[in-house]
Amino acid sequence: MSQKVRECALSVACVVRKDKGDLMLGTGEIVMIVGAVVVLFGAEKLPRLGSAIGESIKNFKKGIRSEEEEEKQKEKSIENSSKEKISSQD
């Protein structure tokens, strides 16, 4: 067994790399992570934790969308101002 395989076998959450460089977790690792979360937070707090994470993701996506919209509006205003300058010079 190579050193890399031994290290991976000994680690708690071994991340397996595909040829393309994608990271994937196996079933065993996911079960261990979920078990650790249950032990750390308790079964009663998990629904609140899940909803808080979901809300955070939703707000993050909303923030990204609003930034993209602001950027598009700036580009449009720059185009309009440049068109106005060109038309006023004629």
pLDDT at residue 78 in the model: 83
Centre a 10 Å sphere on the Cβ of residue 33 and count the other Cβ atoms it contains: 13
Return the percentage of the chain with pLDDT > 70, whole number: 73
Say if CB 39 and CB 47 are below 8 A apart.
no
Task: Please tell me whether residues 12 and 29 are part of one structural domain.
Answer: yes
Q: Is the pLDDT of residue 21 over 80?
A: no
Q: Is the pLDDT of residue 89 over 60?
A: yes
What is the C-alpha separation between 57 and 55, in angstroms, rounded?
5
**Interval 43-58 mean pLDDT:** 90
Centre a 10 Å sphere on the Cβ of residue 32 and count the other Cβ atoms it contains: 15
Task: Please tell me whether residues 26 and 66 are part of one structural domain.
Answer: no
Range of the structural domain that residue 12 is part of:
1-43
Task: Please tell me whether residues 6 and 37 are part of one structural domain.
Answer: yes
pLDDT, mean over the chain: 77
Task: Please tell me whether residues 4 and 16 are part of one structural domain.
Answer: yes
